[in-house]
Amino acid sequence: MQHQNAEMTIREAQDTVDNWIKTVGVRYFNELTNMAILTEEVGEVARIIARTYGEQSFKESDKKHDLADEMADVLWVLLCLANQTGVDLTEAFRKNLEKKTTRDTERHKNNEKLH
């Protein structure tokens, strides 16, 4: 397992989560449960963003939430789902970036809304 302060690759993150689940967490929640948890965690990120950068005000109960921690929760569950479904996120991200680069090379440069 990686040292907590050390940088890690996506593959190392997937392996770290898998090791933690097997040694501390007993087992993975099933995929549907993790999908529901992922949705919940994304909602918590959205809530913080809406109150920090949007027009909503913070409630007292919102103030204890930390954006970085909530984003890490999203990443954790995403890594769980990748492990459970056999997705190599390193390779998937590489292919996704390649697709975006090929597809969007001129698209964003020519978008007047971005200038």
Question: 52: which DSSP letter?
Answer: H
| Among 2, 74, 63, residue whose Cα is nearest residue 38 | 74
- Is residue 98 in a domain? no
- Is residue 46 in a domain? yes
CATH of the domain at 34: 1.10.287.1080
69 lies in which domain range? Answer: 10-88
Q: Taking the alpha carbons of 8, 11, 12, 14 in that order, is the dihedral positive or negative?
A: positive
Domain tally for the chain?
1
Per-residue model confidence (pLDDT) at position 113: 86
- Is residue 51 in a domain? yes
- Is residue 49 in a domain? yes
- Is residue 72 in a domain? yes
Q: Which tens digit of pLDDT belongs to each residue from 5-59?
A: 689 999 999 999 999 999 999 999 999 999 999 999 999 999 999 999 999 888 8
Q: Map residue 63 onto helix, strand or coil.
A: coil
Q: Which tens digit of pLDDT belongs to each residue from 83-115?
A: 999 999 999 999 999 999 988 877 877 888 888
- Is residue 35 in a domain? yes
- Is residue 108 in a domain? no
pTM, whole model, 2 decimals? 0.85
